[in-house]
Amino acid sequence: MEVKGTPVVTEMQVLPVAGYDSMLMTLSGAHAPWFTRNLVILKDSAGNTGVGEIHGGDYTSEALTSCIPLVVGQPIGRYRGILDSIHKGSKRAAEDDGEGIQTLDIRKLKFVVKAEWAIECALLDLLGQYLDLPMCELLGDGKQRDQVETLGYLFYVSDKEKAKLPYIDESGSADPWFRLRRQEMLTPELIVEQAQVLHEKYGFKNFKLKGGVLEGAEEMEAIKALKKAFPDSRMNIDPNGAWSLEEGIRLCKPMENILTYVEDPCGPESGYSSREVMAEFKNAVRLPVATNMIATDWRQFYHAAALKSVDIVLADPHFWGFGGSVRMAQILNDWGLTWGSHSNNHFDITLTAFAHVAAAAPGNPTALDTHWIWQDGQNLLRDTPQIVDGYLQVPKKPGMGVVIDMEKVMEANALYHKLPSHDRDDAVAMQYLIPGWKYDCKKPALVR
């Protein structure tokens, strides 16, 4: 009997998972001892398994679970139609005011990250396996490169001993980076040491410092120290819009020959949106500006582009979708602008997905962010892609090109169910450092 068409999805699992984190500092506070994610695992009638990973928390898990009737029973070749049916059947949550994350309100991140992109990833994984092609060949104009440049994502780290929370201790590890990443690092000297150890382990040639933690002038001293230690490297800073327009100009003008770009230097102020404020910043400072905060959907991008607010759009596939992120890369390349991708705490499934998306991005993307270096070792795959000489290697096998380790997945699922809360809240750990601490988008985390 002749069988026509692509295989059909026979099963869809939604598995919430959790992993361990360091006490990383950002404008929104301090990372908790754990982070959460949601996995989508699809099986098809050809016997293949496809995987996807997305933002954590019960809201996203419930959204994914509600999609199961729209996915199971559908041919994988209809993946665009499946996603369209999900979009047409969805509606905005009552508490989603459409503001997005231009003030880095972490509570709203779950509305910017779209759950269905984990389904898209898993479907593309299955389709690639059916067609005997790597996933990146199914995106945009196909594969553009075999490896993807990544940067060393540097963070200030607080003293976990002050928090009385169950942060993990890797002081006994044989790996110098694993030992260091759980320790306090709040000075320029220790930030430089962080970069040096990362360079030794992963070969990073470019670095980005997460700002919005100390006074801006102190953070710029760390950037100067980094540039002195790595004179040929590209240096970037991301204060998540913590600086006023006046402060951003004052801090960044002297850094025009030191910084490569600045990410989201300013936020909304005086009745003006971040897009308007950053357009004024660009008029005053001769530095490229990147964002993952003010252009997180196509309507926001239209206004950001019209105002010439940004030069680099960090189009995280979990915000834009896999096809959407590559479409953004194509548009930016045609316009003479630059594509990149932001990240959040993630497992190696997302690391793999980022490799494929970036492999399909045309032109000359900026070095990709990845939090993976802070989670490295907590593998959910049997064959995690490696970062070698600062480049993330793109799997060559069909689909995502990796094999999920279900034993590790179920361990991460068990940890998730043991946690007191599944939603990200960076204020909890901060209460141990500064009693009564409250988030303020215009006050760096440790400036109170």
Q: Which of 318, 342, 371, 422 is catalytic?
A: 342
Q: Which of 208, 210, 346, 422 is catalytic?
A: 210
Q: Which residues pair with 209 in a beta bridge?
A: 154, 237
Is 342 known to be catalytic? yes
- Let me know: does 341 contact 357? Beta carbons within 8 Å: yes
In the structure encoding, which two tokens stand for residue 415, read together? Answer: 């940890």
What is the spatial distance between Cα 331 and Cα 397, in angstroms, rounded to a whole number? 28
- Where do we find the tokens 């699992």? 13
What is the spatial distance between Cα 233 and Cα 299, in angstroms, rounded to a whole number? 34
In the structure encoding, which two tokens stand for residue 375, read together? Answer: 């989670």
Which three-class secondary structure state does DSSP give residue 356? helix
Which three-class secondary structure state does DSSP give residue 132? coil
DSSP code for 381: B
What is the spatial distance between Cα 188 and Cα 237, in angstroms, rounded to a whole number? 13
What is the spatial distance between Cα 129 and Cα 139, in angstroms, rounded to a whole number? 14
Helix or strand (DSSP H, E) at 259 = strand 259-263
- Let me know: does 130 contact 76? Beta carbons within 8 Å: yes
DSSP 206-226: EEEEE-SSS-HHHHHHHHHHH
* Cα 375 to the center of its chain, rounded Å: 13
What is the spatial distance between Cα 180 and Cα 408, in angstroms, rounded to a whole number? 24
Is 210 known to be catalytic? yes
Please identify every residue annotated as catalytic: 210, 342
